[in-house]
Amino acid sequence: MNYPRVPESKQRTGRCGQYVALQMFLFRTAPLELQAETGYAKGELWLVDLADFDSVKRFADKFESDGGRLDILVENAAISTGTYNATKDGWETSFPLSERHFHPPCGSPPPPGDDQDRRKILDAPRLVVVASEVHFFIEIEKEVYRNPDILKTLSSAEYSTPSTMPSRYTLTKLLNVFFVRTLNARLPPSTPVIINMVNPGFCQSELSRDTQGITGAIMRLFNRILAFTAEEGSRQLVWAAFGGEPETLRGEYISGCEVEEVADFVLSPEGGKAENQLWDELVDILGEVDPRVNGIIEQYITATLA
């Protein structure tokens, strides 16, 4: 039986993810454009708003009932804003977009294929989180990571002031790195899913569309004269999803189609403490949002680290 791959790109802003999903997959005409460009007539467009927990749950429900299998999940969602805005669930908007949501498709290994070469690929499905080199440029303050509620503190209106919000995008990319490392560390070695993170570089996108003033003007200028095109940046995402030797990519940070070391803060004792605490907080938060999270954790995740 020929089991189809289901590449999926989750995104809210920007354009690199659109190219990974074969251009303009964000828009409702995408399946027709995909067919016109490639001849593939079975493409589907499913919409999800990662800033809305209910939307994420509906997406998971739809996948459970209609999706079947998932071989590649590229999580490419972020915003860059200097203004505090809360979602209807009470979180600063950047955080639901950066903290990757668990849902059942991510935990389901694919069925075996008939062809040996295809089976080699499909037996190692991949979860690719789009990170960034900017995670090197920020640390979590001691008074925050020593707090019993790091995420709630960072997301609060009291913390999200005009002095902290300009670095919010950079902070969320640091959280992406923590998430990939701690999820990978808690997966049993026999787990077929390969989880990694990739830096696409500075790419032309709408990421800073809400950034105003001098900063916004500078970002738009940099977009025009320094940034990669979205298609060029998407090559990094494609490599992270398809390239390399799978076992060498587990939990790794990829930049320029190579594995590179993450920031010193991530590797420090303080970073390790923050990483583990953030994991515990995220599991508790999402377990309250959707009880299926608890079942996935129990079934697929190692309770404690060696």
pTM of the model: 0.80
Q: Is 289 exposed, middle or buried (0-12, 13-18, 19+ CB in 10 A)?
A: middle
Q: Are 277 and 150 in contact (CB under 8 A)?
A: yes
Long-range contact set of residues 52-57: C-beta below 8 Å, sequence gap at least 24: 52/87, 52/88, 52/89, 52/96, 53/89, 53/96, 53/101, 53/289, 53/290, 56/101, 56/103, 56/290, 57/103, 57/289, 57/290
- Nearest to 135, CA basis, from 281, 278, 264, 298: 264
Alpha helices in 137-229 (DSSP H): 142-145, 150-155, 168-186, 213-225
Reported confidence tier of residue 253, pLDDT bands at 50, 70, 90:
very high
pLDDT at 259: 96
Alpha carbon distance 35, 159 (integer Å): 47
Beta bridge partners of 127: 73, 195
pLDDT surpasses 80 at 42: yes
* Number of Cβ atoms within 10 Å of the Cβ of 185: 17
Phi, psi of 127 (to 5 degrees): -110, 115
Q: How far apart are CA 154 and CA 72, in angstroms?
A: 31
Residue 4 in this model has a pLDDT that exceeds 50: no
Q: Which range among 43-52, 150-159, 168-177, 187-196 shows the weakest confidence by mean pLDDT? A: 43-52
pLDDT (average), residues 183-189: 91
Full set of structural domains in the chain with CATH = 7-300 (3.40.50.720)
pLDDT of 59 over the 70 cut: yes
Contact 150, 274 (CB under 8 A): yes
Say yes or no to pLDDT of 181 above 90: yes
CB 80 within 8 A of CB 86: no
By the 8 A CB rule, do 128 and 196 touch? yes
How many Å apart are CA 232 and CA 203, to the nearest integer?
8
Res. 49: pLDDT tops 50: yes
Beta-strand pair 253-255/258-260: antiparallel
Q: Which residue has the higher pLDDT, 212 or 267?
A: 267
Strand ranges inside 31-106, DSSP E: 72-75
